[in-house]
Structures are given as structure tokens and as C-alpha cells.
A and B are shown apart, each in its own frame.
Chain A
Amino acid sequence: QVQLVQSGAEVKKPGASVKVSCKASGYTFTSYGISWVRQAPGQGLEWMGWISAYNGNTNYAQKFQGRVTMTTDTSTSTAYMELRSLRSDDTAVYYCARAIAARPSPNFDYWGQGTLVTVSS
């Protein structure tokens, strides 16, 4: 069955970077894309960006341009999201979600369990 398993919770200081992983199984990794979505405490969902596991193409939300990098390792079926220059308002649960490979899409049929990133001095 399709599974996305994310790395564990992180605590970071302001200005630091965090890299969250998302290991996929149960499907052909390169036939799909991965989107990253975050949710601040008590807040709604926020789309951060998308990467095609087929060809590595990326699209990032304007808000995160220059601060986020999404990559994939097809040899291990793992997607990564690195967010730099962390601020306190980056404290959130970060989710990876399976998307289509060809382009960014709002259809996310499988989700990881979420990774809590806490930014605090």
C-alpha cells in the first residue's frame, strides 16, 4: 500500500535551516510528484511547493521563493524539503503529499504523517 513516512520532529533556533525527509513506498516513485504543505498551530493549510519525482522540476509558492529547496533521491524514493533562515512563524507541522508528476496540482491523494518543526530561541 502507498505510504509516505516523514522524518521526526525538529527544534531549531531562529536563522537555522531544517531539512525534512519523506520516504515513499508502495508505488513507482518517479511516476508522481510530491507537494509540501504546512500547517501552523491552530491555522489552516498552506501550499509550499511541488517537485516532480520524474524530472526534478520544481515550483515554489512565491512566499517561500529563495528560502526553500525541494529535492528527490530516486534511488531511495525519498523527497526532501529544506527551509532556511527559519523564523518563529515557521513553527508548523510540515506534510508531504503525493501529487501528479506532470505539473503542480491540488490533488494530493496520500499524505505523510507530518513533521513538527519548532523554531525557538
Chain B
Amino acid sequence: QSALTQPRSVSGSPGQSVTISCTGTSSDVGGYNYVSWYQQHPGKAPKLMIYDVSKRPSGVPDRFSASKSGNTASLTISGLQAEDEVDYYCCSYVGSYAVFGGGTKLTVL
């Protein structure tokens, strides 16, 4: 099971929007509507930000949105804030398994 492909880093200025991509195959991202996104602060457990491609758990700001097209899922963070400068991971169902992306470090310039 190969890891999903994410950019190692992305950056944006406060108030702007950034998009993090997560590319897989038709066997994972493209094959199911079960993609989630996690935010992880250093030394902390990950936090669920998006599930089932585009659904937000309660308490997650609506600045965080996500979608999927073909074999690529995307997380968009609008109105960037300094506190968004942490790591983000995608995760997909693979048919009896789950697989994470390699992670993306977001820098707020």
C-alpha cells in the first residue's frame, strides 16, 4: 500500500487561501468517497478536520473545506491565520485498509 502523494510544503500570506493536494489512484482516493484530512501540531495527536471527502466535524471552522476530483483530493484553507501553520495529512480508504499521505507543512508568511 503506497502512501498518498502530498506536497512537502505549501505557503500563503495571512488572509489568503491555500490548497493542499492529495493524489492517489483509482484504488484509493478515486475509488471511494472516504477521504479525511488531519491537522497536527508538533508533539500532539492529529485532529480530524474533514471526513468523507468534504464533511466538517462540529467545531471545525468553515475556513476549512475540501473536495475531490478523480484521483486527487484537495483541502482548502481560506482566511489563513498564523495558527494554521502546522502539518496536514490526508487519509483514504483503500478497501479493507487505510493509507495516509506523506504530510504537508503549511507556512504562513
B106 neighbours in A (Cβ, 8 Å): none
A46 neighbours in B (Cβ, 8 Å): 100
Known: A61-B1, A107-B51. A50 touches B98 (CB 8 A): yes
A47 contact from B45, B100, B103, Cβ within 8 A: B100
A44 contact from B57, B89, B92, B98, Cβ within 8 A: B89
Known: A45-B89, A62-B1. A107 touches B100 (CB 8 A): no
Main secondary structure of the interface of B (DSSP, over half): strand
Known: A111-B46, A114-B45. A106 touches B96 (CB 8 A): no
**How far apart are the CA atoms of A45 and B40 in the complex, in Å?**
10
Interface residues of A (CB under 8 A from B): 35, 37, 44-47, 50, 59, 61-63, 95, 97, 103-109, 111-114
16 contacts between A and B (CB under 8 A): A44-B100, A44-B102, A45-B38, A45-B89, A45-B103, A47-B100, A59-B96, A62-B1, A63-B1, A95-B46, A104-B96, A104-B98, A106-B51, A106-B91, A106-B92, A108-B46
Across the A-B interface, the 6 shortest Cβ-Cβ residue pairs: A111-B45, A106-B91, A44-B103, A107-B51, A45-B100, A106-B36
5 additional contacts (CB under 8 A) given A44-B3, A50-B98, A111-B47:
A47-B91, A47-B99, A47-B100, A105-B98, A107-B34
